[in-house]
Chains A and B, each alone.
Chain A
Amino acid sequence: MKRIIALALLLTFISTSVMAAPLPKLRVGYVPEPAHGLYFVAKEKGYFKEEGVDVELFQFGSASEGMAALKAEKLDIGTFGTTAPLLFISKGSDFTFFGGMMIGGQAIITRPEKLAELSGKDLKVYKGKKIGLVKLSTGDVVFKGALKKAGIDYKKDLTFVELGSAAAVVEAVKKGSVDAGLVWPPHFSLAEKNSGLKVAHYIEEFYPKYTCCRIVAPTDKLNADKKTYKKFLAALIRAYKFYRTNQEETVQIYTNSLKIDEDIVRNETYTKKVAESNPDPLRKGILDFWQHILDAGYIPQDYPVDKHINTDIYKQALDSVIKKNPKDKIYQEMLTFYKKNN
C-alpha cells in the first residue's frame, strides 16, 4: 500500500512539474505599423500561449535599431521591413526569413490638382514626373520594380528625389517640390487627413502581392529550435483567421496596441485594404525584392539570399493548424496562397 501511495505521489509530482514547466520564450521586435497587428491579435487572444510559446513583444523606433538588436542576440525574431534584413544578410549576417507580416501597403500621394494627370491604370502617367521617396524603402524598391515590369526605363524617364523620412516626402509633395511621393501606412492616410493630399495609386494596382515586412530570425537559433518557431507561426496563422473574420475586434486590438487613430486603422485594414497582414513567408516576393534592389544599383554585388529563406517551418505550422481544422476555408486559402508564392 505504501508503495502505491509513493507511486501516486511521484506521479502527481511529475505531472505538476510538467504542467508548471515554463513555455519556451521568444523575444520579438517590431516597428509600429498597423499591418504588424497579427502579433497583437495572437497575444491578446492567447494564441501564443495556446500553441505553447511565451512571446514578449518589443517595439523599436527604427528598423536599423531593431536589426542591430537582432544581431546582438537581444531578440529571437525581428520584423523590420524587407530591405533591412536583406542588407544585413548581404553583408554577412546570418539571418533567415521564415515568415511574413505585411503584404502591400505602399501608396503614391499627390496634390489634388495633380490627381487627374496621374489617373488611370497605366504607370506611363509617371513618365517625366519627379517622385519623392525614402531611398531603399519598400515603396522605392517595389515602385521601381513595377516600372521595370511595365517596360519603363525609370533611370531615364523619371526623376527621383531621395528624402530622409516619410514626413519629408509628404512635405515635399505638399509644397510642390515633387509631383508625387511614395509613402507607407499610416503616412498616406495622415497626409490625406491632415494635409489634404490624395492617393493617386496604391502600388499593388501595378504589382500585386509584393512583399513588405518579413519575419526573420538568427539562423542558428531558428535551426536549433524549429519547434518553437513553428508554434509561433501557428499562432500567427490563427491570428490571421481572426483578422479575416472579426473585423471590429481586430480594429480595436490594432488601435489600442499601436495608438493610431481608429478610423485610419479601419480604413487601411478593411475599407480600402491597402495592406494585408499575412504570415506567409512569400519566398518568391523576397527574391523579386532583392533583384529590384540590385537592379536599382543600391548594392554592388549579388548574394544568394535564397539560402536565407526557410519556408518549411511555415508549411509545417500551416499543416498543423489545418490538421486541427481540416474544413476551414481560410486555412485552405492560405495553403493555396503558400503553394503559389513559395
Chain B
Amino acid sequence: MKAVILLLTIMLFSVGNGTSYADSPLRVGYLVQAKEDLSAIADRTGTFSEEGLAVKRIGYRDAGKGIQALQSGTIDIGIFPARESLRAIASGKRLHIIAGGQAPREVSPLNELAEVIADADAGTSFVTVIRYQRNGLAKPLLVRFTAALISAYRNHRLAAVGQEHSSQQSYDPNPGYWRLERIWRSSGLQKRSMKRDYLSRHVYEEIYCDALDSLLDRSEDPIYKELAATAVCVPDCCPKDKKKS
C-alpha cells in the first residue's frame, strides 16, 4: 500500500511545474486608471519584500490589453476588473482567479435587490488573475504573493483608521467565489454548453485560504481573523507538517 502520494500531489497542486522565479521579478499587470490597487499598496508598504518576492508592476490603460498580456506571458499576474476577467474566462481563455483586489462599497440595505448588488459588483470588483499553464508559477509562490496582498490590505486598513473618508471597504483580497458567481450569472456568461462547475474550475480559492492560514500561523492579527471569518475554506484536517505546500 502506498502511504503517501507524493508525485501526484506535487504535479497536481502546482499550477505549473514550479519554475524558479528567484532571479527574475514577478511581472504584475494593473490598470493605470484604477485607484491604487492592492499590488501598489503591497509595493509601497513592503509586503512583497516581507514575503521574499521581487515584483515589477506594469501598467495597462485597457483591461483587455492587460488580459492579452497575461495570455501571451508578457506578465505573470494581473489585477484586473472582474467583469473583463470573467468574460475572458467565459470565452475560453485559460485564466485562474486566485485572489480579489477591490470590491464594491457596501450596498445600502434598501437596495439589496440581487440585480443592484450584482451590478455594483460587476462595475467595481477587481480580481487577481493568473494564466493557467503547465510550466507556470508554482503554488507556494502564488500563496506568498497572495499573502503579500492580504498584508497590504491590513496595512491599508490600519492606515485608514481615524480617517474620515476611509476607503477600506473598497478593497477585498478574498476572491469571493459567490460574488463572482453572482456577476457570472447576472452577466449571462454561463452558456448551455458549459458544465455547471465551469466557473469554479477557474477560481482557485485554495491559494487565498492557504495564504490566510500562513499569515494566521505567524500572527493572530484581528484583521486576518476577520478575513478568515468571511472566507469559505475547506477546513484543515491534518497536522501541518503533512501538508505539501
A274-311 contacts to B, CB under 8 A, are: 298-301
Contacts of A68 on B, CB cut-off 8 Å?
12-13, 206
Question: Taking CB as reference atom, which chain A residue is nearest B232?
Answer: A298
In this complex, the member of B177, B195, B237 whose beta carbon has the largest number of chain A beta carbons within 10 angstroms is B237
Q: Known contacts A61-B243, A135-B228, A162-B225; decide if A94 and B197 are in contact (CB<8 Å).
A: yes
Q: Contact at B225–A62, with CB atoms within 8 Å?
A: no
Q: A299 to B199, alpha carbons, bound, how many Å? A: 16
| B245, chain A: closest CB distance, angstroms | 9
A54-95 contacts to B, CB under 8 A, are: 56-65, 67-69, 71-72, 74, 80-81, 83-84, 87-88, 91-94
Q: A60 to B239, alpha carbons, bound, how many Å? A: 11
| B229, chain A: closest CB distance, angstroms | 6
Q: Contact at A84–B234, with CB atoms within 8 Å?
A: yes
| B100, chain A: closest CB distance, angstroms | 16
B44 within 8 A of A: no
Contacts of B196 on A, CB cut-off 8 Å?
92, 94
Q: A32 to B233, alpha carbons, bound, how many Å? A: 19
Return the contact of B198 from the options A29, A31, A92, A299 (Cβ within 8 A). Answer: A92
| B12, chain A: closest CB distance, angstroms | 6
Q: A167 to B3, alpha carbons, bound, how many Å? A: 23
Contacts of B242 on A, CB cut-off 8 Å?
32, 61-62
Q: Contact at B235–A81, with CB atoms within 8 Å?
A: yes
Q: A245 to B239, alpha carbons, bound, how many Å? A: 31
A82-113 contacts to B, CB under 8 A, are: 83-84, 87-88, 91-94
A159 within 8 A of B: no
Q: A137 to B238, alpha carbons, bound, how many Å? A: 11
Q: A65 to B244, alpha carbons, bound, how many Å? A: 9
B191 within 8 A of A: no
Q: Contact at A87–B178, with CB atoms within 8 Å?
A: no
Contacts of A166 on B, CB cut-off 8 Å?
236
A136 within 8 A of B: yes
Cβ proximity bits A24-54 to B, threshold 8 Å, 1 near / 0 not = 0000010111000000100100000000000
A22 within 8 A of B: no
B1 within 8 A of A: yes
Question: Taking CB as reference atom, which chain B residue is nearest A43?
Answer: B1
Q: Contact at A135–B229, with CB atoms within 8 Å?
A: yes
Return the contact of A165 from the options B5, B201, B225, B240 (Cβ within 8 A). Answer: B240
A164 within 8 A of B: yes
Q: Known contacts A31-B237, A59-B5, A92-B196; decide if A65 and B13 are in contact (CB<8 Å).
A: yes
28 contacts between A and B (CB under 8 A): A31-B237, A32-B242, A33-B237, A43-B1, A58-B5, A60-B5, A61-B9, A61-B243, A61-B244, A62-B238, A62-B242, A65-B9, A67-B234, A71-B201, A74-B8, A81-B234, A88-B200, A91-B199, A93-B200, A94-B196, A94-B197, A135-B233, A136-B235, A137-B235, A140-B235, A162-B228, A164-B217, A299-B232
